Structure 1
Amino acid sequence: MTTTVHRFAAASRMEWIKLRTLRSTWWTLAVTVAGATGIGVAVGANSKDASADLTNNVLAGVAPGLLLVGVLGVLTMTGEYSSGMIRATLAAVPDRPLLLTAKATVFGLVTLVLGEVTAFVAFLAGRAALHGRLTAPGLGQPGVLRAVVLSGAGIALMGLFGLGLGAIVRHSAAALATYVGVVFVAGQLLLAVAPAAVRWVPPAIVGDSLGVSRTASGDLSPWAGPAVLCGYAAVALGAGAWTLTRRDG
């Protein structure tokens, strides 16, 4: 047990060094927070209906994070294959499930911090931009803090989903196309053929379940939504671990 813990700690340190030295990590952080601010302000300034869920309105700023952090998750995995670094990584950590666990742990913690910063920035920026005649939501009001925190967690879970897809597909272009298709395009297709099923699509879960202070009829509850996203991420990472053990580096 001690040996496994030591190997996991060493693998995690290695993954942290690789992640923080990637320029794409810092660009994603900057663009995600900037996008959250801009969209939060734009949506807040254009909110007119006092009866609407204003918390949900201003949390629209988390939307870019679902794409950007998911893409970062894909590239964090596939980039090792395209650069050839995966050979050195596997030489250092031959235990592939352990390697993916360490990578997912480090990436998940980093993107959770990023997601929470994004959600709080979107909320505060959008709240400040609301028209003076509207009562701005406060973090102490029922369901508001929960909506902000879960929205940030949703971003991290989508990043882990992207990481799992990257481990399964390995090729950047194909994995990115799969991520965009599954996460975004599928929702539009379902909207046309099976509208009731749209609530199971990740962007709808984040927008209609996680990022709301009050849940509308027919949507997943604020706690069922995160459970479904956790399931998606777990399945992708589990399949990724299985794939890594069945292929040569």
Structure 2
Amino acid sequence: MTTTALASAPAPAPAPAQTVVHKVTGRRVLRSEWAKFWSLRSSWITLGVAVLLLIALGAIASATYSPDATTGQPPGPGSGSGTQDAVSLALLGSSFASLAVGVLGVLMSAGEYTTGMIRSTLAAVPRRLPVLWTKSAVIGLITLVATTIGALAAFQLGTLGLHGDKIALSLGDDGVLRSLVGAGVYLGLVAVFGVGLGVLLRSSAGAIAVLVGVLLILPGLANLLPDSWYNTINPYLPSNAGSSMYALHQAAHTLSPGAGLAVFAGWVALTLAGAALRLVRTDA
């Protein structure tokens, strides 16, 4: 009887498998956003377009420069004062590159709202704000490095076209390296600005429209103001403050490079603050 009872007794249930819970850390969020950036074809294509515009337009402007031309000066640092230099020619593509990297920032943030992926992202990172800070850090750093290299390449190619001209400069001349690095810093901040607009507006089309309006259209509308108002307000507009960061020489009614950095960084910080407030207070 005892042997039969033992044989018919049910086998003990297997111990439940232990679930490994990974804590959300800043490093893991950073790795996630880094992987997102490089896994999306649109990311590196848009970044490549920005760098290509920066290099190609700068090299072409330097190669076609004519000291006898007095009209039709390209937009950019130095053009407002009626003078051109090797740096302003090399950085001619900065305004076009700024649109590309700004769109890149918008796609990195608002694109998740469009596809619905933001719900998975916020479920994985319930505190939410680390997502915004990490996106901004990743896109800002990548853009800064890539566009600084592009600015240096544009200047070096431009020196070939300007060889022997009076405005020719070398990388070791006073202020040249600062201007080229300043262009990279400006474009990196524009990318972060795009991230902030994307999270704030949660619409790719709407954020891109605002980006274009702020960087390109707003300075044109400022020309309609009376001269006294224009000279007071114009230097503090985002794109004008940003262009002061990489201008080799300070023109009349413009900010110094340090002041331009402070003002444009303030615009970016204000946008990120609004994006953070909406991210925390409203559902995806």
Fold conserved between structures, TM > 0.5 = yes
Q: Find the counterpart in structure 2 of residue 145 from structure 1.
A: 177
Shift of 1:179: 1.1
Give deviations 1:212-248, integer Å, cap 9, x for gaps.
2221222100111111111111111111011101111
Q: Is the 8 A contact 2:214 2:238 kept in 1?
A: no
3-state SS of paired residue (1:189): helix
More RCO (CA 8 Å, sep 6+): 1
Question: What are the within-5 Å matches in structure 2 for residues 184-195 of structure 1?
Answer: 184-193=216-225, 194-195=229-230
Q: Find the counterpart in structure 2 of residue 21 from structure 1.
A: 39
1:36 lines up with 2:72 in the alignment: no
Give deviations 1:158-209, integer Å, cap 9, x for gaps.
11111101110001111111111122111110122253222223332333x1
Give deviations 1:48-97, integer Å, cap 9, x for gaps.
34973321222112222210000111111011011111111011101111
3-state SS of paired residue (1:192): coil
Shift of 1:101: 1.1
Gaps of 5+ in 2: 1-22, 69-82
3-state SS of paired residue (1:95): coil
Q: Which amino acid aligns with 1:173?
A: A
Mark the structure with the bigger radius of gyration: 2
Counterpart CA distance in 1 for 2:158 and 2:234 is 26
Question: What are the within-5 Å matches in structure 2 for residues 37-186 of structure 1?
Answer: 37-49=55-67, 52-130=84-162, 132-186=164-218
Gaps of 5+ in 1: none
How many residue pairs get matched?
A: 244
3-state SS of paired residue (2:66): coil
Q: Which residue of 207, 228, 237 maps to 1:201?
A: 237
Shift of 1:135: 4.8
Counterpart CA distance in 2 for 1:192 and 1:129 is 37
Q: Which amino acid aligns with 2:263?
A: V
Shift of 1:122: 2.1
RMSD: 1.9
Counterpart CA distance in 2 for 1:46 and 1:220 is 29
Counterpart CA distance in 1 for 2:197 and 2:188 is 14
Give deviations 1:125-165, integer Å, cap 9, x for gaps.
22222253335211111111100000110000011111101
Q: Which amino acid aligns with 2:117?
A: M
Q: Which amino acid aligns with 2:282?
A: R
Q: Which residue of 261, 266, 275 maps to 1:240?
A: 275
Counterpart CA distance in 2 for 1:57 and 1:23 is 31
Give deviations 1:107-131, integer Å, cap 9, x for gaps.
1111111221222122222222225
TM-score (norm 1): 0.91
Further displaced range: 38-47 or 51-60: 51-60
Counterpart CA distance in 1 for 2:90 and 2:135 is 32
Q: Is the 8 A contact 1:62 1:118 kept in 2?
A: no
